[in-house]
Amino acid sequence: MTRRRTHHLTLSTLAALSTLALLVAAAPGCKRSGAATSEAADRAPPVSAEPGRAPKTLVDHQEFPRFVALDADNVYWFEWASEGSTLHQLARRGDAAPTVLAGSLPSPSALVARDGVVYVASQEGRGDAPTTILRIAAEGGEPETLAREEGLVRDLVVDQGALFWSATSADAIRRRPLEGGEIVTLAGDVAAPGAIAVDPRHVYWVSAGRPTRGVAPTFNRIARDGGAPERLAELAASPSAITLAGDHIVYAIHRSTTATARPEPCADEIFAFARRSGESARIACGRVLLPRLAAHGATIYFAERESEVEASRQAEILAVDVGGGPIRRIAERQNGPAGLAVDAEALYWVNSGELEARDGALVSWSF
């Protein structure tokens, strides 16, 4: 059973979470990505993905759930509270009830799972408060500290025996072997790095930059063993999410703000960057694209709502091919999606619900 708690999240915290935004574009020679064009003025309405199929609520009565991660056997998510969050797991097969894997964790900022192990970034406050990166076995036990940062960690990736993360407050991209060893700073002085993605050759990341100081947002990569960072694109708007999809890096940019009651139909845009050619193309857009992307094969999954205004939490879960084409509706009337994860069997997400209402839920849509 989960514990009941009272939420004390502020609207400014929620605004920061909802406006992280979606990622980047690029080509060799540092092209500018995401400049407004007449093409971005509108889009066709989404079409139904598969008529008659419906998402399934797996766990309900959740208190503001955030993030979701998968491995072969379990799905993991947080009930997120400022005074201490709870990490849950649910077996993906059978009828077992969800269990608590860890409790009383400070504010989580990233979650990833691989082969029965969960990796968590847990910040001890707000702003530049310290963050601890933890490893937690799915069968239980005490969390193990892998690293500690004097500030925010925005994203975690596990790949080929190593853990990668973006040390946002420290302006650095770091790597640590999972079996122990030295923490390596792959790139420093990268101006507020956010979401990251890793392939067999490179680590990709987006930096929010510091526009008030004349430092633009950028999309970058570096060899996973280190070397000189390569700037792939200067971005025209705020970045946040990124995912791998075959030979592409898929990202978006985020233009809508909390001051915009109803943004333009294509205020936010999603792009696919071809790693071989170095070219990028817009594949989707929306009013407010929430800061989560997931990909399986050639399909990209994302969430959209009508406005950044807190009262406007109803959203749709959508899909588009990495090569573009019609946007497909997976689910509508979702109450504040706050995480997406997908594999060959199903797409999962959490709906955060309303503050103090305990109406959040873990939801799946099977293929």
Q: Can you give the pLDDT at residue 3?
A: 39
The phi-psi region of residue 356 (left if phi > 0; otherwise alpha if psi is between -120 and 50; otherwise beta) is: left
Tell me the pLDDT tens digit for each residue of 23-79. Answer: 333 333 445 565 434 344 467 778 877 666 889 999 999 999 999 999 999 999 999
Report all structural domains of the chain as residue ranges with CATH numbers, in order of start.
Answer: 11-366 (2.120.10.30)
Q: Can you give the pLDDT at residue 260?
A: 59
The one-letter code for the residue type at 361 is A
Sign of the Cα torsion 163, 361, 104, 312 reads positive
**Look-up of token digits 């999606």:** 337
Helix (H) or strand (E) holding 10: none
Helix (H) or strand (E) holding 149: strand 144-149
Tell me the pLDDT tens digit for each residue of 206-227. Answer: 988 998 899 999 999 999 999 9
In whole angstroms, give the CA distance from residue 26 to residue 204.
Answer: 11
Cβ within 8 Å of residue 80, ≥6 positions away: 63, 64, 65, 66, 67, 107, 108, 352
Give the residues of the chain that fall short of pLDDT 50: 1-30, 35-41
In whole angstroms, give the CA distance from residue 279 to residue 332.
Answer: 33
